[in-house]
Amino acid sequence: MAADIIDGKAFALDLRGRIATLAADFTARTGRKAGLAVVLVGEDAASQVYVRSKGKATVEAGMASFEHRLPVDATQAELLALVEALNADPAVDGILVQLPLPTHLDEQTVIATISPDKDVDGFHVINAGRLAVGQPGYVPCTPLGCLMLLKDRLGSLSGLNAVVIGRSNIVGKPMAQLLLAESCTVTIAHSRTRDLAEVVRRADIVVAAVGRPEMVKGSWIKPGATVIDVGINRVAGTEPGKTRLVGDVDFAEASAIAGAITPVPGGVGPMTIAVLLRNALVAAFRNAGLDLADDAI
């Protein structure tokens, strides 16, 4: 039987609607809009597209978007000075520095300079530590979006076997922490994992965050498992000169065996920006000293 398709686009749209309602509530209570600042260094084409769509989505949610562009040859000192100015600006609740940075800049130092209370990407070591010990903080947007889709589909995740393929600080590690906090039995697989197919076969939940087109085969999937495909890979299309996006999972094969699966595109991708807005709004409520229920968004 074919798997159910987990519609990340529809879920993200609904989430953005709920965020807009709460953002209006925030404005009514404080007399100002929740504010998200995005910093872009250089002219990288993909980063420009991301920054534009983040700004547009922020405004659509009724929040203030502050876009800061620095030239590709900006110095580390200039970038850090901008981050510190944003840390001090009361109109800015969340700060996102678009990665990757040009190679002469030190990403770790830049991330460490962002105030942990405005770190809506959740990349600061303080927020990674808060996630590890179960304190409220900011969780990276992509894995939090994956968790929302999983809970929406499965309800309680307690006791399920989850395999996360990938151990990056941005996706794999925080995903594993989130699943552990939901009482899953978590395995983190990576490039040195032996017999990955056999490891994946034990999983009730598979999260693939590898960056290798269609690497996870249908024969690896336990019948009925829930498959979350984080991968975004551009490959040659069927027509000459055309490209198409595929995930890390062989969708055609896996969707014949899984119970539910996210498509690429239209699965995890739309969740990332929606969760960024969610994190920025949570930051606004917290920074203003206002209560927001844990499950409000």
Are the CB atoms for 129 and 177 separated by under 8 Å? no
- Return the structure tokens found at 177: 């922490």
Is 263 a binding residue for ligand NDP by CB under 6 A? The answer is: no
Closest to 230 measured CA to CA, from 149, 174, 146, 141: 146
Q: Which residue is nearest to ligand NDP (CB)?
A: 168
DSSP state of 297: -
Quick count: other Cβ atoms within 10 Å of Cβ 37?
A: 26
Quick count: other Cβ atoms within 10 Å of Cβ 287?
A: 18
Of 96, 171, 199, 277, the one binding ligand NDP (CB under 6 A) is 171
Closest to 213 measured CA to CA, from 241, 228, 234: 234
DSSP state of 123: -
Of 192, 240, 293, 294, the one binding ligand NDP (CB under 6 A) is 192
Of 22, 95, 114, 165, the one binding ligand NDP (CB under 6 A) is 165
Interatomic CA distance for residues 31 and 266, integer angstroms = 36
Is 53 a binding residue for ligand NDP by CB under 6 A? The answer is: no
Of 193, 245, 253, 296, the one binding ligand NDP (CB under 6 A) is 193
Is 196 a binding residue for ligand NDP by CB under 6 A? The answer is: yes
Q: Binding segment for ligand NDP among 130-138, 159-167, 178-186, 280-288 (CB under 6 A)?
A: 159-167
Instruction: Classify residue 116 by burial, with Cβ atoms within 10 Å: 0-12, 13-18, 19+.
Output: middle
**Rounded to the nearest whole angstrom, what is the least distance from the CB of residue 102 to ligand NDP in the complex?**
18
* Residues annotated as catalytic (active site), given as ranges: 54, 98, 121
**Rounded to the nearest whole angstrom, what is the least distance from the CB of residue 273 to ligand NDP in the complex?**
8
- Return the structure tokens found at 79: 């970038």
Q: Which is nearer to ligand NDP, 87 or 233 (CB)?
A: 233
Of 132, 232, 245, 292, the one binding ligand NDP (CB under 6 A) is 232
Interacting residues toward ligand NDP by CB under 6 A: 142, 165-168, 170-172, 189-193, 196, 209-212, 230-233, 268-269, 272
